[in-house]
Structure 1
Amino acid sequence: MPDSSRPLVMVVEDDPSIAQMISLQLELSGYRTHVERDGRGGLAAVRRDRPDVVLLDIGLPGLDGIQVCRALRAEQDWTPILFVTARDDEVDRVVGLELGADDYVTKPFSPREVIARINSVLRRARVTEAADSSGAARSLVCGDVRLLPDERRVFAGDDEVAFTATEFDLLAHLMAAPGRVYTRDQLMRDVWGYDTSAGQRTVDVHVAQVRAKLGEHDVIRTVRGVGYSAQQPAAGRRG
């Protein structure tokens, strides 16, 4: 009988050898896995099985990975998605991130790299305890944006805004130290949990997505040549 306490990774990959290899490594690392070989099957399986994370190849037959991601996000399904791409062109990766993917890896990759990325995505997706020393729930406030860490909810003005796990943690990290400027490399280490040569572009795309969702209530400040910070809250607004 399968152990449902172990996280389920949905592997959507049309190359049987890659699917088998990564599934074996994930099982050895303590995960459950389910494999689908095309986009339509993968989309149906995500809707049916509600996995903890999706490892999604971009170049799938039928529906490609980008179409699958777009369909899930349109349904307000924020299951963490890790894209896999074999293409050197950055366009697919950027488009995937703009659609709400949490991260990506490029073929050829090592199983250790994929597992590290999945661990990182799941860490960001877990609901964390965020209480002050008195045990009361706290909120972070910058401008018109209020973020509830323990509930993982964000309000911009009077409206609640939905974020992916990575987008939420990026915004929370900036808002937790308003006015502090973080370099892109620091954000990769602090939010994503690892260093990568593609980190600067990844951070920029996620910041752009957070800003687009906040709209007129955007509280992220670009410090040219350095990185990003959250604006200082007004006096008495941090609760």
Structure 2
Amino acid sequence: MSQSSLIWVIDDDPELRSLLAEYLARENFDVRTFSDAADPLRRLPRERPDLIVLDLMLPGEDGLSVCRRIRGMGDEVPIIMLTARSDPIDRVIGIETGADDYLGKPFLPRELAARIHAVLRRRRMPTPGAPLPDGQIVSFGNCRLDLASRSLWREGERVELTTGEFSLLAALARHPHQPLTRERLIELARGPEAETYERSMDVQISRLRRLVEPNPTRPRHIQTVWGVGYVFVPESGEAIA
């Protein structure tokens, strides 16, 4: 990288913070460490890290709550969640709250560095799910998805999307009327080397339905194809412009 990316590491383990700060610095990252989320949350409105490494178990406000607050502020800063819990549902919940990736403890610093590089690469390169320079617009129902500006509008009001939500919705919208398996959606939205639980894909689909469907319990645009996966169905006469 020509310029060091600023990484915030939020973890209450001082030894782990020291280890990650030293290792990530050798990987040409500019690292700031914090023992809890209070100071980073105060800094966010005026300081911009390129990525946050966020521990699930923090003193005071836990990582899931912090992630929800950051996304609730409309901030799309990439977040990699760290968790010592082995239950896959914790990872699903982490993705549901807006995390871009997760990593279970214990882990090798090299693996975290690789995941940081991967998340930043997805942000910077025109990989699947990234905005397109030619400005395609997808209209469906009362929604309008602008692939160039990464924005979703519903009934004239902007809807905030996380990186994962945008990538998934864009992948669906680029393949109208084409049933896609969960594995194919993961590949389109996150890249061919992504490791994502299929259950987390179902969770993200449910979140998208709540954002775009008039009645999420009876979806018209993001429909389930039983035994296959999902299909995007724009209304008649509405398609990619």
TM-score (norm 2): 0.84
2:204 pairs with one of 203, 206, 226:
206
Q: Is the 8 A contact 1:220 1:231 kept in 2?
A: yes
For residue 232 of structure 1, report the CA deviation from its aligned partner: 4.1
For residue 208 of structure 1, report the CA deviation from its aligned partner: 1.6
Quote the Cα distance in structure 2 between the aligned partners of 1:114 and 1:188: 20
- Is 2:237 aligned against 1:235? yes
Cα distance change on mapping 1:31 and 1:19 into 2, 3 Å: same
* Letter matched to residue 59 of structure 1: M
Count of residues paired in the alignment: 232
Structure whose residues are more often helix by fraction: 1
Unmatched segments (≥5 aa) in structure 1: none
* Secondary structure at the counterpart of residue 152 of structure 2: strand
* Secondary structure at the counterpart of residue 211 of structure 2: helix
Quote the Cα distance in structure 1 between the aligned partners of 2:115 and 2:208: 21
| 1:83-162 map, 5 Å | 83-126=81-124, 130-132=132-134, 137-162=135-160
Cα distance change on mapping 1:148 and 1:106 into 2, 3 Å: same
Quote the Cα distance in structure 1 between the aligned partners of 2:110 and 2:225: 35
Unmatched segments (≥5 aa) in structure 2: none
* Letter matched to residue 57 of structure 1: D
For residue 103 of structure 1, report the CA deviation from its aligned partner: 2.1
Q: 2:224 maps to which residue?
A: 222
2:165 pairs with one of 160, 167, 170:
167
Q: Is the 8 A contact 1:185 1:199 kept in 2?
A: no
Cα distance change on mapping 1:234 and 1:24 into 2, 3 Å: farther
* Letter matched to residue 15 of structure 1: D
For residue 234 of structure 1, report the CA deviation from its aligned partner: 2.9
Quote the Cα distance in structure 1 between the aligned partners of 2:71 and 2:8: 16
* Secondary structure at the counterpart of residue 148 of structure 2: coil
Q: 1:61 maps to which residue?
A: 59
For residue 63 of structure 1, report the CA deviation from its aligned partner: 1.8
Quote the Cα distance in structure 2 between the aligned partners of 1:206 and 1:230: 14
Q: Is the 8 A contact 2:4 2:30 kept in 1?
A: yes
* Letter matched to residue 112 of structure 1: R
For residue 110 of structure 1, report the CA deviation from its aligned partner: 2.5
| Range 106-115 or range 119-128, more displaced | 119-128
Q: Percent identity?
A: 36
Q: 2:5 maps to which residue?
A: 7
* Letter matched to residue 101 of structure 1: A
* Secondary structure at the counterpart of residue 99 of structure 2: coil
* Letter matched to residue 231 of structure 2: S
Q: Is the 8 A contact 2:67 2:97 kept in 1?
A: yes
Quote the Cα distance in structure 2 between the aligned partners of 1:115 and 1:184: 27
Q: Is the 8 A contact 1:185 1:195 kept in 2?
A: no
For residue 203 of structure 1, report the CA deviation from its aligned partner: 1.3
Q: Is the 8 A contact 1:142 1:175 kept in 2?
A: no
